[in-house]
Amino acid sequence: MPNILVVDDEQAITDLVALYLQNENFTVHRFYCGADALKCVETTPLDLAILDVMLPDIDGFQLCQKIREKHYFPIIMLTAKVEDMDKIMGLTLGADDYITKPFNPLELVARVKTQLRRYTRYNTAEGGAAEKKEDEYDFNGLQISKTTHKCILYNEELQLTPIEFSILWYLCEKRGSVVSSEELFEAVWGEKYMDSNNTVMSHIARLREKLHEPRKKPKFIKTVWGVGYTIE
């Protein structure tokens, strides 16, 4: 039974989200401030976190960043802010999804299930024998394995979130071809792409940081302006 962390300083929202998740047989750990949530993260094996951006002590972005120092389970951000820069900040710090208030609790539950399915799949190598495809790539000092879900760059293991691993793996599968943001989003997130969606760009930026990519001349993930991304 998955353990879900829910953090929001509005008790009514926290309790509502918890109720819907519990109805789906999830175990919910609810908190109203970041400090208490961090204690839970340190002592409880978690499968997913839902974090409000506006908290009374530390904000959700800081909380997300602290969690990402040691943990790679999916994180969904909740906020009343709709500005794109807020979304980009949250995703760059390691969040996997973003939903604005007011929201439909059923939509939130659906997104939770989507993230958990992806997280489970990439941690159990589910379905690896179903298709006869490459299960490992090794080029230019980069090694990535679908079987072990590890990515090693110049003998250093990179700590990638499931989303980051999925993006890099998909680009490796399509190596030599240009992948549009729309194709990448729909392949990785399994949802319809929206023209104003900055999710792909934000995750690519964070992935490049982890790959120690120079901004002007990246070695691995290259941008083909107006078209998409490619690994050569």
Q: According to the model, what pLDDT value does residue 5 have?
A: 97
Is the CB of residue 52 less than 8 Å from the CB of residue 79?
A: yes
Residue 196: both structure tokens together: 């104003």
Q: According to the model, what pLDDT value does residue 34 have?
A: 93
Radius of gyration of the chain (CA): 18
Is the CB of residue 199 less than 8 Å from the CB of residue 192?
A: no
Regions of the chain with pLDDT less than 70: 81-92, 121-134, 195-197
- Supply the pTM of this predicted model: 0.62
Q: pLDDT tens across 5-16, in order?
A: 999 999 999 999
Cα separation, 164 vs 174, in Å, equals 16
Cα separation, 58 vs 75, in Å, equals 16
Cβ within 8 Å of residue 171, ≥6 positions away: 179, 184, 221, 229, 230, 231
Listed residue (219, 230, 225) closest to 167, CA to CA: 230
Cα separation, 125 vs 129, in Å, equals 9
Q: According to the model, what pLDDT value does residue 91 have?
A: 67
Q: According to the model, what pLDDT value does residue 201 have?
A: 87
Q: pLDDT tens across 51-74, in order?
A: 998 899 988 888 998 998 888 889
**C-alpha separations of 161 from 29, 140, 205 in Å:** 22, 22, 14
